[in-house]
Chains A and B, each alone.
Chain A
Amino acid sequence: MSETQTNANNDICIQIQDMHKWYGEFHVLKDINLEVCKGEKIVVCGPSGSGKSTMIRCINRLEEHQQGHIIVDGTELTNDLKNIDAVRSEVGMCFQHFNLFPHLTILENCTLAPIWVRKMPRKEAEEIAMHYLERVKIPDQAHKYPGQLSGGQQQRVAIARSLCMKPNIMLFDEPTSALDPEMIKEVLDTMVELANEGMTMICVTHEMGFAKQVADRVIFMDGGEIIEENNPTEFFDNPQHERTKLFLSQILGH
C-alpha cells in the first residue's frame, strides 16, 4: 500500500508511517508519521531525550526501527543492505561533533566517499571537493588536518563532505550546539545558503532564528512522540499544545 502511494506522488521524498522504535524495553519513538516533500525544510525541536536524534538517525538507518515504514526517495528501509546503501548515498548527514576523520586531510575527508562509493576518478572528486570547500569558504584549508581547524570550520567541512556526495536530502543533528557563539553564525549562514538553493533539509536545532528564517514547518517532539507541527509563524506565535508552550517559554525565556 505504502509503495504505491509514494510512487504516485513524486514530490514526497521522505515518508515515515506509523513508525515505532525501542531500545530494549524502552519505547523511544511512538507512532511517528511524517511526510517531507522535495525542497522542504523541516526544523525539529523538543526537550533533551525526546527522541529527536533517534528519529532523524532512523532516516539513514544509523538506527533501526522495529515497526512501521520509512521510505526515502521511493526506497523502503528494510534489512536489505542494498536499500540501506542506496538511501545512505542519497542522504547526507551532519553531526553535533562533526565526526571528521582526523587521520585524513580536509580534502581527503571530502573525496573519500565519492572515490570509494561513487567510484569517481580522484581528479574529478578533488575538483568537486574544492568546489564545495569554496562554497563553505574554506578552500585554503584543504591540506590541513581537521585537528588544526576551529569548530566552526570543522562543521563547515563536514557539510562540504556531505555535499560532495550530491545528496538529495540533508540531515542535521544539532550542528551548532557544540560550537562557541561566535562560530554558530558562520555555520548557520552556510545552512541558510543551502536551504535557499532548494535542498531538502531536516534539522534538529534549537536555533529559533534559523527556524523562523528558513523552516517550512517546525516539528515539536516530546517523550518520543510528535506533539505538534506547524509553520514557523503559527508555531512560535500561537503554539497549540501545553507542552509546546512550556518548552518555548523555556528556550525563548532567557
Chain B
Amino acid sequence: MTQHYAPGTHPDLPPPSNTVGPIHWLRVNLFSSIPNTIVSLIAIYLLIISVPAAIDWLFFKATYVGESRNDCARDGACWAFISERFQLFVYGFYPQAERWRVDLSAVLLGVAIAAVLWQNMPGRKWGLIFAAIYPFLAGWLLTGGMGLTPVDTNDFGGVMLTVVIGITGIAFSLPIGILLALGRQSDLPIIKYFSIGFIEFIRGVPLITLLFVASTMLSYFLPPGSNFDLLLRVLIMVTLFASAYMAEVIRGGLQALPKGQKEAADSLGLNYWQAMRLIILPQALTISIPGIVNTFIGLYKDTSLVVIIGLLDVLGVGRASVSDTAWVGLSTEVYLFVAVFFFITCFGMARYSLFLENKLNTGHKH
C-alpha cells in the first residue's frame, strides 16, 4: 500500500483522509470509547431539553417594555424592569443634568484604553500621554469643581461606580505593584522589608476587612473634622489590595528571567532604572501577563464588595431594585443582567490578554 521512493526524492504527501474532517473529529472527541459515547449522549440529551426552553424564557416569551411587574408575561423574562431602570443601572444617582460628564468620561476612557491596548494606533505616543493623565481628568469631570458643578461621590452608582473603582484599581495597582516587586528584591534593607511587610500584611487580610477599615476606622486616624471622601478611601484600599497581589505576580516574572539578563545590562553600563525599564520589566511583564490579567479580573469583580459599606455599584443597584414593590419577584432577571455585564467585561479582558500573549510570543520564543 505504501509507495517507496529512492532516498532523497520523497515528495510531500497529504495526510491520510481518515485523520481530518468533521466525522473524524466526532469520532475522536465524542465517541472514542463506550464510556465516552454514553457521556456524550447524556450531555446532548440535557442540552436538547434545556437550551430551547432557556432561549424561550430569555428571549421569545420575554417582555421588553412595561410599567410594572403586571405588564410582564408570567412564563417569560421581564426585561421591562431593566429597561425601565436602565438609567439607574448606568448612572446611579448622578444628577440628571450633569450626566453628560459621565458620558464624556466614558468616551474619553475609550480613547485612553484604545491607546493602551492598540499598539499601532496612529499618534499612539500622544494617546499614551493622554491615558496617563486620564484618571485625573476623569476624576475632575466626575466630581466637579474648578468651573464644574460639584457632584457628591455618594451619588455615584451603578455601572459608572463599578467602572470608576475598577479602572482606578487597574490603572494604579500595576505601577505600584511593579515598584513593590522591585522593592522586594532590593539590596536596601529598609525598602526590602517595607515591601515584604506591606505585601504580606495586605495579602493576609480580606478585602472586606480593608473596606470596613476604610469606611470606619480611618476617621479615627484623621484629624477631627476632616472630611475624607468615602469613595476615595475605598479607591485607595482597593488599589493597595490589588497592588500586593500584582507585586507577587510580577515577582514571579522577575524570578523567571535568567540572571544573565541583568548582568548583560550591567556590563553594558546601563544604570539600575535603565536596566529595569528596557531589559528586565518588558520581559518580566510579558511572562506575567496571564497573572496580571487574572489580578485585574479579580479586582474588577471584587468591586461589588463595596455594597457592604453602602456604595451602590451595579450589583448594589440591582439588589436595591429587587425590593421595589412595583416589581416584586424579579431577582433572577436582575442578577442575570448583572452577571452578563460582569461577564462581558471580564471575558473581554481575558481575550485581550490571550491575544497579547500570542502577539508577544511570536518572533522571539526560544
In the assembled complex, the CB of A6 is this many whole angstroms from the nearest CB of chain B, namely 21
A-B contact pairs, 28 of them (CB 8 A): A60-B267, A62-B266, A85-B269, A85-B271, A88-B269, A89-B269, A93-B267, A99-B261, A101-B261, A101-B264, A101-B265, A102-B283, A102-B364, A102-B366, A103-B283, A103-B286, A112-B268, A112-B270, A113-B268, A113-B269, A116-B274, A145-B363, A145-B364, A146-B364, A147-B364, A147-B366, A148-B364, A162-B267
B244-273 vs A, Cβ < 8 Å mask (1 yes, 0 no): 000000000000001011011111111100
A117 lies within 8 A of B364 (CB): no
Quick one: closest A residue to B364, CB to CB?
A: A145
Chain B residues in contact with chain A, CB under 8 A? 258, 260-261, 263-271, 274, 278-279, 282-283, 286, 363-366
Q: Which residues of A lie under 8 Å from residue B267 when comparing CB positions?
A: 60, 62, 88, 91-93, 162
Contact A95 B268 (CB under 8 A): no
How far apart sit A161 and B263, CA to CA, in the bound complex (Å)? Answer: 14
- Map CB proximity to B onto A10-31 as digits: 1 under 8 Å, 0 otherwise: 0000000000000000000000
Docked complex Cα distance between A61 and B267 (Å)? 8
Q: Contact: B270 with A117, CB < 8 Å?
A: yes
Cβ-closest chain B residue relative to A171: B267
For residue A92, which residue of chain B has the nearest CB? B267
Complex-state Cα separation, A99 to B283, whole angstroms: 13
Q: Does A243 contact B (CB under 8 A)?
A: no
The answer to whether B278 and A147 have CB atoms under 8 Å apart is: no
User: Cα distance A97–B260 when bound, in Å?
Assistant: 8
B236 to A: closest C-beta gap in Å:
34
Which residues A46-63 have CB closer than 8 A to chain B? 60-62
Known: A103-B282, A113-B270, A165-B269. A95 touches B264 (CB 8 A): yes
CB distance from A186 to the nearest CB of B (A): 21
Q: Are A165 and B286 touching (Cβ within 8 A)?
A: no
CA of A87 to CA of B276 in the docked complex: distance in angstroms? 20
How far is A74 from B83 in the complex, measured between Cα atoms in Å? Answer: 79
Contact B268 A162 (CB under 8 A): yes
What are the interface flags for A93-137 relative to B under an 8 Å C-beta threshold, 1 for contact and 0 otherwise?
Answer: 101010111110000000011001100000000000000000000
Contacts A61-B266, A88-B269, A103-B282 known; 19 new A-B pairs at CB < 8 A: A62-B263, A62-B267, A95-B260, A99-B260, A99-B261, A99-B263, A100-B264, A101-B264, A101-B279, A102-B364, A103-B364, A116-B270, A117-B274, A145-B363, A145-B364, A147-B363, A147-B366, A162-B267, A162-B268
| A144 and chain B: residue at smallest CB distance | B363
Question: B258 near A97 (CB under 8 angstroms)?
Answer: yes
Contact partners of B264 in chain A: CB under 8 A: 93, 95, 99-101
Nearest residue in B to A147 (C-beta to C-beta)?
B364
- Chain A residues positioned under 8 Å from B268 (CB to CB): 88, 112-113, 117, 161-162, 165
Interface residues of A in 159-210 (CB under 8 A from B): 161-162, 165
Contact check: which of B265, B270, B286, B365 meets A147 at CB < 8 Å? B365
Measured between alpha carbons, how far is A138 from B282 in the docked complex, in Å? Answer: 26
